[in-house]
Each structure stands twice: as structure tokens, then as C-alpha cells.
Amino acid sequence: MTVATSSVDAPRDSPGRLPVVVVGAGAMGREWIRMLRDSPDAVLVGLVDLDVELATTAAEGLDVVVGDSLVHVALRSGAEAVVNVTVPQAHRVVNEQALRAGLPVLCEKPLSPTVAEALRQVALADLTGSLLMVSQSRRYFDHLAAFRGAVRQLGPLGAVTASFFHEDHEPGFREQMAHPLLVDMSIHHFDQLRHATGDEPVAVRCSSWSPPWSWFAGDAAATAEFELASGAHFSYAGSRCTPGLQTSWNADWHVRGERGSAHWDGDDVVEVEADGVTVELPDRAEGIAGALEEFVAALRTGSTPSTEVRANVLSLAMVEGAVRSSERGGERVVVADLLEESLVQAIADERHDDVTAVLRSWGSAAAGVATPPWGSRPDTRASGDDR
């Protein structure tokens, strides 16, 4: 265990800003560090990475505690929350360390590689009473909010389509993933579908592959058809290795409803063709700054953030369902069945008796993800008010 400081071991002079530790000093960690320099919501007081030299370099010029132990850095820095920006396979371990230390967590997506592992984290959040929120940062765009507002005025929906085509060169773990599109990128688009429409997935059929020129080890392209609870269908097509005529990172969206249609190009164009439907553009923090703003507000007021861990499980289930369907030759995968199979697996995998007891107490995965969320519990609301 290594802990070092740039000069002092106490929270910086930052009235009203939540002192946080960032875990992970890689590319995304550095993006969070840059954003936190000027954030009105939180201040960086600690940085953790197993590679302490990397963390020290990333923290150069900052007055923060640096080390390879989350618990020790949090204690020495006076941190009150954790931002988990580690690689996906490390998310659960870091989240568990933080939650058991009584620290709320804002975790980068994807929360976990499987729904089973996500359910174990839901149970741990229940057990500890601390907030676990997923940073689905692509929910936080003003034009998505405007598109969402328009979609909610279209009446019953019939069809939703999204297209994502990009030439994405990110050397590292992404290029070695089995499903770099579905697992690492489509999670954003599937989450945006749920956010924009308020609809939920029922079943999916999916096919994934890579074109012959792909530089990804796994499947970098996919098409998927989701059946939604409303009866509408969601058609998705995407690729991370498409040169030319690329879409926005947020995909290109069309929604067809009873009263008309809406389109969002994923950037700054929202179009609506429907009588009486208005488009209102808000002005708020976007991207990871928007996720942080909602996280801090939840801690201060006891409100439940839109991507609190339970709410995020169904976005992850869309990903796992699509992957499962693809690996089974396009077989129809029912989301409810996937959830219940995942709970059985979660109970089998969990090694902590207290977490296992919570998982068993649910009776079903559906009940587990529908339990009262963090902000509705009086004891945690009280602890959130004084942050």
C-alpha cells in the first residue's frame, strides 16, 4: 500500500463542493480530473491507481492525496464520495470497497460485465445504505433532453430506430473485447432509448459481426431488434469501424408515434413533425459534468438519481440480452428470463453471506430491482442532507 500527498492531507478550501476521490488514472480518469478542476459541484482531493507513478503524473500540479489504496487515500484526504473510473472488470471490487467503507459511488459505465454481477452490487447497495449511481454520461445532453420532451408528446409509440456508425481507434482493452460495440458503446444508446421513451425492453434478437477490415479482435458491428413493453419495437444498427459518413457518438434517432414523428441527429438538431408538439432546449451541465451534478444533488437532497443502480440494471440487461442472442445465432432472448437466471447466478457467485442473504430475500430479480431506491429510505435521506 502506497499513499503520498502533494502537500497536505485535508480537503481543499472548497465551500459547497463535495470532496471526492477518483479511482483510475487512465485516459477516462484524466478526463474526470480535468472536469473536476472547474466543477462547481465537487473537488478532487484524492487519486487512486495501482500504478502510483501513473497516478502521480496525472495529479501533477494538484493538491491531492495519491496512492494505491482507496480506503487509505479516502481517509487521509477527507473524501466523502468516490468516482470509479477503473476498467470495467474492476468496477465491482472498487465499488465494494467504497460502499463497505460508507462512501457513495459514482461508477463509470458499464457497471459490470454481466447482469448477475450487477445484481450483486444492487444487493450490496441495499445492505450498506449508500448510494451507487452509474455515470451514463450520454444521458446528459441538452438536445437529448429536448428530444425526450418531444417524444413524450407523441402519444403511444410504434417504432424507434437508432443508427451508430463510427471509425473508432482506441488502442487498449476496447480493441480486445469480444463485443466492443454492444458492451462498451451500445450501452449508451440502449440507456438513451429507455431515457427518451420511458419504455422498457421485453425481448431481443441480435446479430453481431466484424467486417473484414476491422481492427477489433471481437465483433465491432451489430443489428438488434427489441420488443418494448408498450408494444413498440426498437431497431438498432451500429458499427465502430465504419469509415465515412459517420453518425454522432450519440447515434441518429427517429421515433414514430400516434401524433407524429421526432428526429434527433445525436448532436444539435431536433426535428418534430407533429401538431402541437413543442421542443424546449434546457441549459444544464452536460456529459460527465451532468452526471456528477445529479450525483451530488442526490447526496444533498436524498433524491433518487435517474441512473441509480437499480434503474441501470435494465440498460445492462439490454446489452447482455443482445450479446446472448448474437452468440446463439439470433435466438429470441426474453429479458425477464435473463433477469431471473442472473439472480440464480448471482447467488451462486457471491462469497459474502450478508450480500447473499439480501439476494435471497428478494424472491425474484424483478422484485430486487424494484425495491425502494436509495433516496426513499429515511435513514439514507438524512445522511444525504448534510453533505
Residue 249 within a domain: yes
Asked whether the predicted pLDDT for residue 191 surpasses 90, the reply is: yes
Q: pLDDT above 70 covers what percent of the chain?
A: 93
- Write the pLDDT tens digit of every residue in 214-271: 999 999 999 999 999 999 999 999 999 999 999 999 999 999 999 999 999 999 999 9
Domain housing 163: 141-274
Residue 58 within a domain: no
How many domains is the chain built from? 1
Residue 268 within a domain: yes
CATH for 241: 3.30.360.10
Write down the mean pLDDT value for the chain: 92
Q: Is the peptide bond before 110 cis (omega within 30 degrees of 0)?
A: yes
Out of 276-285, 301-310, 341-350, give the one with best mean pLDDT.
341-350
- Write the pLDDT tens digit of every residue in 15-37: 589 999 999 999 999 999 999 99
Strand arrangement of the beta sheet that strand 157-165 belongs to:
270-274, 260-264, 252-257, 157-165, 233-239, 221-228, 201-209, 333-334
pLDDT of residue 282: 92
Residue 145 within a domain: yes
- Write the pLDDT tens digit of every residue in 3-18: 555 443 434 455 589 9
Asked whether the predicted pLDDT for residue 68 surpasses 90, the reply is: yes
- Write the pLDDT tens digit of every residue in 82-103: 999 998 889 999 999 999 999 9
CA atoms within 13 A on the CB side of 260: 14
Cα–Cα distance, 316 to 188 (Å, whole number): 10
Residue 107 within a domain: no
Task: Name the pTM for this structure.
Answer: 0.89
Strand arrangement of the beta sheet that strand 18-23 belongs to:
3-5, 65-67, 42-48, 18-23, 81-84, 105-108, 132-135
- Look up residue 269 and give its three cell numbers: 438538431
> pLDDT band at residue 381, thresholds of 50, 70 and 90?
very low
pLDDT of residue 1: 58
pLDDT of residue 14: 53
Residue 147 within a domain: yes
DSSP state of 373: P
- Write the pLDDT tens digit of every residue in 115-173: 999 999 999 999 999 999 999 999 999 999 999 999 999 999 999 999 999 998 877 78
Residue 267 within a domain: yes
Cα–Cα distance, 270 to 281 (Å, whole number): 10
Residue 168 within a domain: yes
